[in-house]
Every structure is written in C-alpha cells, then in structure tokens.
Amino acid sequence: MARQGRSTDWGFPRWRGYGSGREAAEVRLCDRAGCNNPGNCPAPKSPNSPDRWYFCEKHAAEYNAGWNYFEGLDKEEAEQREQAERRTSREYREASWQAWAGPGDGSRSRDELRALEVLGLDPDADFEAVRKAWRTKAKLVHPDVRPGDAAAAEEFQKLQLSYEVLRAAEERREWKG
C-alpha cells in the first residue's frame, strides 16, 4: 500500500497546528433584531444581573450610550459606588503616569474629554491638533470678528475654556515626563 503524502505530525499529535479541525466554528450573532454581525460584546441586561446581551460593536456602543450605571441610586449611594470603583481601578491610574498609557486609552480626565469634544477632536488627539482646532474655530467666533453676537461670544468662551483645560493638562504631562 503506497502512502499518499508525508504527515506533518511525525507521530506526535501535539505538534499539529491549533484549530486545524474541519468542524464549522460556531459564531454567536448579535442579539439586536435584524443584525447578522457576530455578537462578541457582552452587555448586562440589567444592573447586578448575570444575564447578558451579546451585541456587535456598533450595537454595543449604541446600548452603552444609553446605559446609566447609577440608575436607581440616590446621590450618596452613587458617590459611594464611584469611590469604590476609583479604589479598585487605582492601579490602572498609577500606570498612566509611568507612561504605560497614552492619550485615548483612559489617561485623559473627563474634563479633557469634554474639552476635546467641544473642539471636535478624537480622544487620542495630540496637543498640536488641539492648537490647530482651537485657532481655526476661535477665528470664526471671536468677538472682534462678530461684535454684538451673544451666541458667538458664548461659543468663543467655551473654546477658550476648553483650550485652557487641555493646555494645563499638557503642561502637567510635560512636567511629569
């Protein structure tokens, strides 16, 4: 009896490639009605429940946008829960000052993210992009360009405050680094 081809495992099954089986891989679909994308992002069905929805990235982002983590808690309980979360994630925060983290991956504060949103920038924008966006937008609504326009003056103040927040944060980063 002739051999048809040389085997690649040399008699040791552990040398075979992983995932070399011919069975079909089971893929869980997104739980959103009508979506045929893989549902690989688990999301809780309700607070403190082990039951999960499985959404695709797009629908997970949509679901999380409306999620209120502190729903049903009074102000005092919400503050206690937030402090507990901050205590458990302190190690990650400590890692960010050691330059293990960069902008856009959790090292920016809420104020910085809001300021970037006002300027229309992504969370991982560098300071040069911040400066460009601020100058471009500020030129359009500056009180000297649009005198007497209260809406433009208010927009200019928002832009100015956003720039100050981001500039101070950049100075802190340079000082630490």
Query: Domain locations in the chain?
Result: 29-88, 102-176
Burial (0-12, 13-18, 19+ Cβ within 10 Å), 115 = buried
pLDDT, tens digit, for every residue of 11-49? 555 555 555 566 667 888 898 888 999 988 888 777 667
The single residue listed with the structure tokens 């359009």 is 140
| Distances 5 to 2, 8, 10 between C-alpha atoms, Å | 9, 9, 12
Highest mean pLDDT pick, 56-60, 80-84, 106-110, 162-166: 162-166
Distance between CA atoms of residues 143 and 24, nearest Å: 65
pTM: 0.42
Q: How confident is the model at residue 14, as a pLDDT?
A: 55
Which of the four pLDDT bands, split at 50, 70 and 90, describes residue 156? very high
Superfamily of domain 102-176: DnaJ domain (1.10.287.110)
**What are the residues whose beta carbons fall under 8 Å from the beta carbon of 114, sequence distance 6 or more?**
162
The mean-pLDDT minimum among 47-51, 77-81, 109-113, 141-145 falls in 47-51
Average pLDDT over residues 63-84: 81
Confidence of residue 79 (pLDDT cuts 50, 70, 90): confident
* Confidence tier at 130 by pLDDT (50, 70, 90): very high
What is the rounded CA–CA span in Å between residue 127 and residue 113?
13
Q: List 29's β-bridge partners, or say none.
A: 38
For residue 1, pLDDT over 60 is answered with no
Q: How many helices (H) and strands (E) does the chain have?
A: 6, 2
